[in-house]
C-alpha cells in the first residue's frame, strides 16, 4: 500500500490526516505519478459559446482552437467537450494540459494565438469565447483513478501510475491526497473581481481570481463498457449524478460553487462520445468538502458509487482536484452571457 503523496513531495506534516495509519481502503484505487522534474502544470479550458443557429460557426471556431494546439509548444494532452448551459447556450470547451508552464507561455504568446484572441473580429462574430486557465504547482493537485491505463486529463502528462494507494474511500481523502495539505489549510484569500469590462454589456471582460480556488474534474468513460455496465451507468449512476450536477449549476452559489458544468466529450466535428465529466470551480476545497460530506445530492452519488465500484470492469471512473495561486489564474471572457463561469460571482 502506497501513500497517494509521492516521496519527493512529502514533508513534515503539521496538519493531521483524516484516517489512522492502519486504515485499509475498501477497494483498490490509483493516482498519477510524476518525477521531480514536474513542478507545475497548466490546465486550460478554452470555450466557444453560441446559440444553436450559430452552431456551424461555433464548430469552426472550436476546430480553430484545436488546430492551434498543433503549433510549437502545444499541450501534451487535450480533449473537447460540449454542454448546454442553464441559459440555453451551447458551449464547446477545448481543454489542454501542459506539464511545462514555460512551454504554455511560449505557445500562447505566438502571434497566431495572441492576435487571433485580441482581434476585433472576435467581438463581431456572434459567438462568445472564454479562457479559464489555472496552473497548480505539483503540490497543489491530486488525481484518483479506478483503472490503470490511458489516463485522461492531467494524468496523461504525468510519468507513471502508483500502486494501490491508502488515502481514498473516506470523507476528506481528497485533501489528504493533495501534498500541500500536509501543512496548509488551503483557505481562500480574497474575492473574485471584475478588473476590466462589464459582464452586462458584453465585450471583453477580465476577472481576477484569488488564492486556493478549487477545480474538480470528475469523469466517467463508458466507451469499452459492455451492455450490463452501460445499463448500470445510465439507470443507477447517471440519474443521481445528473441531479447533483444540475443542483450545483443552478443552486450552488450559496454553497461556494462558482461554476458547474456537466459536459460530454465530443470529436473535432462536435459528435458526442461515450465519455463525460464535471467541471466544477469552487471558492475553496473546504466548501467542496462540505457539499460532498453533507448534501443529499452528493450523498446519493457517493452511496451509488460505493455500491457498484467493486464490480466495474470497463466503466472507467476518475477525478482530479486542484487548488491554485491567484497569480497563476486567468479568467477572460468575450461576449459571454453574464452567468458564464466566474462572471456570475465576480464583484463589480
Report how far apart the first and last C-alpha atoms of the chain are (Å, whole number). 49
Q: In whole angstroms, what is the distance from residue 94 CA to residue 105 CA?
A: 17
Say how many residues make up the chain: 348
Which residue carries 444540475 as its cell? Answer: 246
Give the three-state DSSP class for 114.
helix
* Strand blocks (E) in 108-256: 128-134, 141-145, 160-161, 193-198, 202-208, 213-221
Buried-exposed string 72-100: b where 16+ CB fall within 10 A, e elsewhere: ebbbbbbbbbbbebeeebbbbbbbbbbbb
Q: In whole angstroms, what is the distance from residue 177 CA to residue 68 CA?
A: 34
Q: In whole angstroms, what is the distance from residue 315 CA to residue 163 CA?
A: 20
Task: Using DSSP bridges, classify how beta strands 42-50 and 77-84 pair: parallel, antiparallel or unpaired.
Answer: unpaired
Q: In whole angstroms, what is the distance from residue 149 CA to residue 160 CA?
A: 10
Q: In whole angstroms, what is the distance from residue 174 CA to residue 142 CA?
A: 7
Which residues are tagged catalytic? Answer: 319
- Residue 29 C-alpha cell reads as 484505487
Closest CA to 130 of 203, 17, 48: 48
CB 142 within 8 A of CB 149: no
DSSP labels, 195-211: EEEEGGGEEEEEEE--B
Task: Using DSSP bridges, classify how beta strands 90-98 and 77-84 pair: parallel, antiparallel or unpaired.
Answer: antiparallel
Q: In whole angstroms, what is the distance from residue 39 CA to residue 158 CA?
A: 11
Amino acid at each position: 500500500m502506497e501513500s497517494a503523496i509521492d516521496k519527493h513531495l512529502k514533508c513534515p506534516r503539521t496538519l493531521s490526516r483524516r484516517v489512522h495509519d492502519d486504515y485499509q481502503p475498501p477497494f483498490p484505487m490509483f493516482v498519477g505519478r510524476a518525477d521531480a522534474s514536474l513542478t507545475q502544470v497548466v490546465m486550460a479550458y478554452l470555450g466557444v459559446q453560441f446559440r444553436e443557429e450559430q452552431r456551424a460557426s461555433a464548430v469552426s471556431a472550436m476546430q480553430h482552437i484545436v488546430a492551434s494546439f498543433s503549433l510549437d509548444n502545444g499541450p501534451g494532452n487535450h480533449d473537447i467537450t460540449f454542454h448546454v448551459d442553464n441559459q440555453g447556450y451551447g458551449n464547446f470547451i477545448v481543454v489542454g494540459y501542459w506539464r511545462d508552464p514555460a512551454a504554455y507561455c511560449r505557445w500562447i504568446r505566438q502571434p497566431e494565438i495572441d492576435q487571433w484572441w485580441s482581434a476585433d473580429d472576435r467581438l463581431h462574430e456572434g459567438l462568445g469565447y472564454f479562457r479559464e486557465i489555472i496552473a497548480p504547482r505539483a503540490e497543489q493537485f491530486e488525481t484518483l483513478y479506478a483503472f490503470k491505463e490511458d489516463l485522461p486529463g492531467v494524468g496523461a502528462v504525468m510519468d507513471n501510475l502508483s500502486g494501490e494507494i491508502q488515502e481514498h474511500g473516506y470523507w476528506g481523502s481528497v485533501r489528504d491526497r493533495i501534498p500541500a495539505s500536509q501543512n496548509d489549510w488551503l483557505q481562500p484569500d480574497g474575492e473574485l473581481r471584475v478588473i476590466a469590462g462589464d459582464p452586462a454589456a458584453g465585450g471583453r471582460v477580465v476577472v481576477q481570481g484569488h488564492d486556493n480556488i478549487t477545480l474538480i474534474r470528475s469523469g466517467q468513460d463508458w466507451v469499452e463498457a459492455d451492455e450490463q455496465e452501460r445499463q448500470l451507468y445510465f439507470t443507477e449512476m447517471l440519474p443521481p449524478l445528473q441531479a447533483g450536477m444540475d443542483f450545483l449549476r443552478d443552486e450552488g452559489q450559496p454553497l461556494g460553487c462558482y461554476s458547474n458544468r456537466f459536459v460530454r466529450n465530443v470529436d473535432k466535428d462536435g459528435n458526442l462520445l461515450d465519455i463525460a465529466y464535471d467541471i466544477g470551480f469552487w471558492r475553496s476545497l473546504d466548501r467542496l468538502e462540505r457539499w460532498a460530506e453533507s448534501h443529499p445530492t452528493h450523498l446519493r452519488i457517493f452511496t451509488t458509487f460505493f455500491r457498484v465500484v467493486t464490480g466495474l470492469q470497463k466503466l472507467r471512473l476518475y477525478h482530479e482536484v486542484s487548488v491554485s495561486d491567484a497569480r497563476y489564474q486567468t479568467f477572460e471572457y468575450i461576449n459571454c452571457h453574464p452567468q458564464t463561469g466566474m462572471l456570475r460571482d465576480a464583484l463589480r
